[in-house]
Structure 1
Amino acid sequence: METDRPTPFDPPVELRRRAPLSRLAYPDGHLGWVATGYSVTRAILADPRFSTRRELLHQPVGRERAVEPPTPAEPGIFPHMDPPEHTRYRRLLSGHFGPRRVAELMPAIRRYTAEALDGLADAGTNGGTPADPTAPTDPVDLVASFAMPIPALVICELLGVRAEDRQRIQAATAVMNDLDSRPDQVIDAVMSITGTVRGVLADGRSDGLLAQAAATGELNDEELTNLGMVLLATGHLPTSSMLALGAFALLTDPAQRARLAADPERAVEELLRYLSILQFDVRRTALVDVEIDGQVVAAGETVVLALPVANRDPERFPDPDTLDVTRSATGHLAFGHGVHQCLGQHLARAELRVALTALFERFPDLRLAVPAAEVPTRDRMAVYGVDRLPVAWGVIPAVQPR
C-alpha cells in the first residue's frame, strides 16, 4: 500500500481514501480487513467478540517474520491475551500506572525534563563557548537530546531499572519496532531487554514495580521477566515519538504553539488525536461472525485498526485535518479503547504536558534548523515519528547590506 502523506503529520493518503471498513489482503495470503472509520474502530475495540490473542492475528506488513506461523503469547505477554488471563495481569499492574502513582512520579518527570533541557542548552554552543541565550546556536537534535531520554528515564525509575541501562533499552526497542529488522536481530533485542529485567529481579535491592510484583508471589519468574520486557519495550518509545512529533508540529504552527501554555491538558489531547502514532500494530481477530457497518467479519478474520485515520474522521471531529489545541478532543482513540486501552496513558499524558510546556518556556524562540520537508520520518516503524529533529534558538543576526 502506498504510504505517501500530504504532510509529515497526516496519515497515508491511501488509507484516507478507504471506506470505514474495507477488505485488506495480508502478506501471508489472508484476506482480512482494515477499519478507518471512528465509529467502526471504536466498536471493534469495545467488542469482546474480537480477540488480541497473538496466535489468531495476521500481520498486515511485509516483515520477513510475518510469514511465520503465529504462536500463543508467552506467560506475562498480556497485551496479546484476552480476559480472563489479560484481566489478571492488568489487575496487578493498574495501580502502578494510575493517577495516584503518576502524581507521585511528577517530581521525577520534572527533574528529568529539566536535566534534558539543560543538556539541550549545553549542546547548543557556539564555537565551543557556553550557550548565550541571546546568541544563535548550533543545531541540536531534539529527538536524541530531549524526546528520547525523558520517557526512558521515567519508565526505568517506575520499574526499578538502572538509569544507565536506558540507552541499551532504547536501542533494542528500536530494533523491535523496525519493519526492516531481521528475525535474529529482533530475538537479540528481546533477549537484551529480558536480560535487563532478570538483572533487576536478581539484584533484589530495587523498590520499583518489578520488585514489588515479585514480592506479591503471584507471578513466577517467566511471567515476571516477560511482563518486565513488555513494559520496558512499550513504556517509552510511543511517548518519545509523540514528544518529538508534537514539538515538530508546534514548531511549524506558531499560532498553536502560542496557545499551548494556556491549557496544556487540552493541547496534549488534541496533539494525541492529530498525531496518532500507532500505525498498523493495533489488530483484532473475530472469534465468531460479527456484523458491523453492514458487513460481516467472519470468524478468524483479522482487522487492522487504523487509529490515525479514525482520529481524523470528520463525522467525529469537525475539520479533522486542522491542528487546534483549543479543541475538545475527548474521545480520541490514540490510546485505544475498551479493556485493552493503553495501561500507561496517564503517565504518557503527564510526560507530554510537562515536557512540551517546559521546552517552549525554556526556549521561547526555538525553531527548526532545517526545512520541515527535510526532517526524516519513521515510516517503516510500528510507531510513527521522526528520526531526527534539528533545532536551534537565539537571535539570528540581521544580514548587513554591502
Structure 2
Amino acid sequence: MSAPIPFTIDIPEAALQDLRERLLKSRLPEPLEDVGWSYGTEYEYLKELAHYWATSFDWRKQEAYLNSFPQFKLLVNGIDLHFVHLRSAEPNAIPLILSHGWPGTFFEFHKMFEALAAPKPTVDGSKPQAFHVVAPSLPGYGFSSAPRRPGFGVGKIAETFDALMSALGYQTYVAQGGDWGSAITSTLARKYPERCRAIHINLVFAGPCWSNPLHLLQMANMLPGLRRFPVFLSRDEMKAVDDGAHFQEHETGYSKIQGTKPQTLGYALNDSPAGLLAWIVEKFHTWADTRGEGVESAFVRDEVLTNVAIYWLTGSITSSTRLYHEAMHSGEVRRISASYCKVPTGVAVFPKEIFRAPRSWASAVYNIQQWSVFPRGGHFAALEAPAELTADVRKFFAAHH
C-alpha cells in the first residue's frame, strides 16, 4: 500500500457561487399554520437559515479551519479514503480511530481532536492520557470517494478502517463511534479483536437477549396489539421498549426511504441545497438535546452549516444514504446486536440519544467495563458534549488498551 498523500480542502469559487445562486432561488413549499416542527423542518427557520447560508456564511473561514487539521488521502479497498491524522507528541499515546455516522461528517469530532492528541496538564501537574487520532470520512461521505458497486456496507467499512490503521503503522489500536460509527466500531472489535483492543460507543445496538425467556417476552411487548407483561420488566427496560416503539413509529421514515430507494431521494437532495439543508437540519433538531429551545441551543449555526456544506460541496449525500440500503438488505446491524463482543467496551449514555438500550441488554452483547450516564447531550455527542465525551473516552482507554 502506498504512503498517505497530504490533502487540503480547496473548493472552487464557481461551486460556492453556484451554491449561493441555488439557495437564493429556492422554491420552498408553504407550510400549514401553527405546526412548528411536527410536519418536518419548520418553514421560517429553514427560510432564514438558507438565506444566511447564501449571504453570510463564510465557507472560506470554515475551510481554513478544517485545513488546520492534518488531513490525508490513501487508496484502501478501492476507496480514496480521506482522514484526519494527528500524531501525539506524548510517548505513551494510544492509537485511536474515530468513526462518525449519518448525517455527520469527520467534522463532527472537531472539538475533540486537539484535546485527545495534545491534552493539557491537570491542576496537579499530571498529564492525561493522549492519543494518536485518526478520523476518516466514511466511504461515500464527504471527501472520501464512494463505492462503485453494491455490497460495501458496515463490514467492508470496518475492513477498510482496519487496513488504514495497519497502513499508518498501528498494529493495535482502540476505537470510538456513535450512530453508524458505533456499528463500525463494534464490527472492528468483533472481526479484529487481536488488533482492536477496546472500544467506546455512544449508541448501543442491543435488544433483549434471545437466550433469555424473559427477554423474549420483552420482544413481544414491542409488537403492536399484544398485551404487556410489566411484571417481567425493569423500569429501564420498560422505558426502552416504549421509547423504541415510539422511535420506530414516528422517527424512522428517513431510514425507510434511504434503506429502500436512496437513489430516488438523492436526485432531489443533490440538486437542491435548501432541500438538503431541510433534510439534515431536521435530524439536528430532533435528535439533539435542544430542550425545546431550537437547533441553535445545542449547536453553533456555522457548525451545522459546515456539516451540511461538506455534503453539498462534495456531492456525497446520495452515496452516504446508500449505507442504509446496504445495511437493510444485508442484516448487518441485526447481526451486530446478536453476537457477543468480547473486547472491553465503554458506553457513554446521553439522555436525548435516539435509543438508549438498558445496561442489561447491552451486557448480553458487549463486554461492558465502563457505563457512564450523563445529564445532558443527545445523538451528536461529539458536537453537543465534547468535553464530557472526551473525558469519558480518555478515562476508559487509559484503563483498557
TM-score after normalising by structure 2: 0.25
Q: Which has the higher contact order (CA 8 A, sep 6+)?
A: 1
TM-score (norm 1): 0.25
